[in-house]
Amino acid sequence: MRISRTYLTDNSASRERLRTILGRLAESDFSLQVGHGWTIGATLAHLAFWDRRLLGRLEEWAKDGPQSVRIVPTNFDQVNDGMLREWLLASPRDIVLEVAAAAEAVDGRLESLSPDLAGAIAAVSPRSLDRSLHRGDHLGDIERALEGSHPTR
Residues 10-28 pLDDT 10s: 999 999 999 999 999 999 9
The predicted structure's pLDDT at residue 71: 84
| pLDDT tens profile 74-125 | 999 999 999 999 999 999 999 999 999 999 999 999 999 999 999 999 999 9
Which residues contact residue 129 at a Cβ distance below 8 angstroms, ignoring those fewer than 6 apart? 3, 4, 7, 110, 118, 121, 122
* Beta carbons within 10 angstroms of residue 110's beta carbon: 21
* Under 8 Å between Cβ of 129 and 5: no
pLDDT at 73: 85
| Residue 153, pLDDT above cutoff 50 | no
Q: Which of 12, 5, 39, 4 is nearest to 135 (CA)?
A: 12
pLDDT tens digit sequence for 134-143: 999 999 999 9
Q: Which residue has the higher pLDDT, 49 or 151?
A: 49
Mean pLDDT of the chain: 94
The domains found in the chain, sorted by start residue, are: 5-149 (1.20.120.450)
